[in-house]
Homo-oligomer: A and B are copies of this chain.
Amino acid sequence: MKKVSIKDIAQMAGVASSTVSFVLNGKARKMRISETVEKRVIEVARNAGYYPNQLAISLRTGKSKTLGLIVENIGNPFFATLAKTIEEEAEQYGYRVVYCSTENNASKGKELINMLSQRQVDGYLITPAPHMEDDIQQLVQLNRPVVLIDRYLPSVDVSHVLVNNTEAVSQGMAHLFDRGYKEIGFVTVDLDVIQMEERLDGYLGALSKQGIRLNKDIILKIPYTHQRDEAVELIAALLKDNPQLDALFFATNYLAILGLESINRLKMAIPQDIAVISFDDHDIFRIYPPGITSIQQPVEAIAKKAVALLMEQCESTESKLSTTEVELTAKLIVRGST
C-alpha cells in the first residue's frame, strides 16, 4: 500500500493541512469547520486509503477510537440489526466497533470484557447476560465508559437505553382485548433477565386490570437452550391442552417464529383459530400471511441514543462519569393476525 499523507489529502481536497488534521482527529466541530468541508475531507481521505497510524495515536491520546459491543447472540436478527446500526452510528463519530456474543453466559461475558479491555477499547456497549453484575460493576468502578442496551441491572448504577417493556406489552394486550380476545396465552423464555420479567409483568398487569383470573397453565416458559423442535412441540402442546385459547402473546420474535411453525403443524388458521402477537418485529412478520401483529422496538433510536451516551462518557473530562437512564417507546404494528 502506498502511504498517503495528510498533505496529499489537503491538496486533493483543496484545503489546508491543518484542516485535514482537525477533521481526521475528530475536532471539526470544535474548530468550527463546516460540515461540507468535513465530509469532503473524510471522503477524500477514505478514497485515498489514508489510514492514520492508530497505534501512535493511541499511545499519544490514550484512545483507540474503538468501541466494544457485547450482544446476547449475533445470530438473532434483533441483535444483528442492532449491531449493524450501532456500527453505522459509531462511524459518524469516527469510532470503529468490534462485537461478540455472550449467548447469555456470564463467564463468557466476563471473558469478553477482559478481552476487550486488553485490546484497549475506549468504551463498552453491553446487553448483560444474567449474573454479569460484578463484571459491569467493576467497569463502573474503574470509571470506564459503559452503556447497557436492551436491559439493565437493577443493582448496578450505570447508564442504559431500552424500551418500556411493561408499557409496550400492556399496549399489545389492550389491543387484543379491544379486538375481543379474552383467553390469551403467554409464551416467554426461561431466563432471569429484567426485560423478560418486565414483559411478563405487562401481561400479568393487563389481565389483572381486566379482572381476569390468572391461569398459570397458559404461561409457557421455554428453556433458553431449547432445540428448535422441542420448542415447537411445547407450543403445540400448549395449544392442544388449552383449546379455549383464542390468542397467543409471544415475548420475543424467535419464539413467535417457532409458534408459527406449531400453528402450521396443527393446521390452525390465523387469526380465525388463534390470534398472534409478538414482541420485536421481524422480516417474516411483514410478509407471512396474513401479516403478524408485533411490537416494534425502535432499533435505530436505541442505537443512536446508546452511542451518543457512550460518546459523552468517552469524551468526558469529569472525574466521575454520570449515569443516564433512557426509556424509549415501542410501537404497536397491527397486521392481519389479530
A71-107 contact mask (Cβ, 8 Å, vs B): 1 or 0: 0011111001101110100000000111111000001
Known interface pairs A99-B100, A287-B257, A287-B264; A74-B66 also in contact (CB < 8 Å): no
Set of chain B residues within 8 Å of A33, measured between Cβ atoms: none
Set of chain B residues within 8 Å of A51, measured between Cβ atoms: 110-111, 114
Known interface pairs A115-B96, A257-B283, A289-B289; A84-B77 also in contact (CB < 8 Å): no
Partner of A98, one of B1, B99, B120: B99
A-B contacts, 30 listed (Cβ < 8 Å): A1-B110, A1-B135, A46-B107, A49-B110, A51-B110, A51-B111, A68-B98, A73-B84, A74-B74, A74-B83, A74-B84, A74-B87, A75-B77, A75-B81, A75-B83, A75-B84, A76-B80, A77-B77, A77-B80, A84-B101, A87-B101, A96-B111, A98-B116, A99-B99, A257-B283, A261-B286, A261-B287, A284-B287, A284-B288, A287-B288
Asked whether any CB of chain B lies closer than 8 Å to the CB of A134, the reply is yes
Closest residue to A254 on the B side, CB-wise? B283
Asked whether any CB of chain B lies closer than 8 Å to the CB of A118, the reply is yes
Seen from chain A, the residues whose Cβ lies within 8 Å of a Cβ on chain B are 1, 46-47, 49, 51, 54-55, 58, 64, 66, 68, 73-77, 80-81, 83-85, 87, 96-101, 107, 110-112, 114-116, 118-120, 134-135, 138, 257, 260-261, 264, 283-284, 286-289
Set of chain B residues within 8 Å of A77, measured between Cβ atoms: 75, 77, 80
Contact B114 A99 (CB under 8 A): no
Contact A80 B87 (CB under 8 A): no
Contact A54 B118 (CB under 8 A): yes
Closest residue to A53 on the B side, CB-wise? B118
Set of chain B residues within 8 Å of A257, measured between Cβ atoms: 283, 287
Set of chain B residues within 8 Å of A114, measured between Cβ atoms: 51, 54
Contact B74 A115 (CB under 8 A): no
Closest residue to A257 on the B side, CB-wise? B283
Give Cα A115–Cα B84 distance, bound, in whole angstroms.
Answer: 18
Give Cα A115–Cα B58 distance, bound, in whole angstroms.
Answer: 11
Set of chain B residues within 8 Å of A261, measured between Cβ atoms: 286-287
Set of chain B residues within 8 Å of A138, measured between Cβ atoms: 1
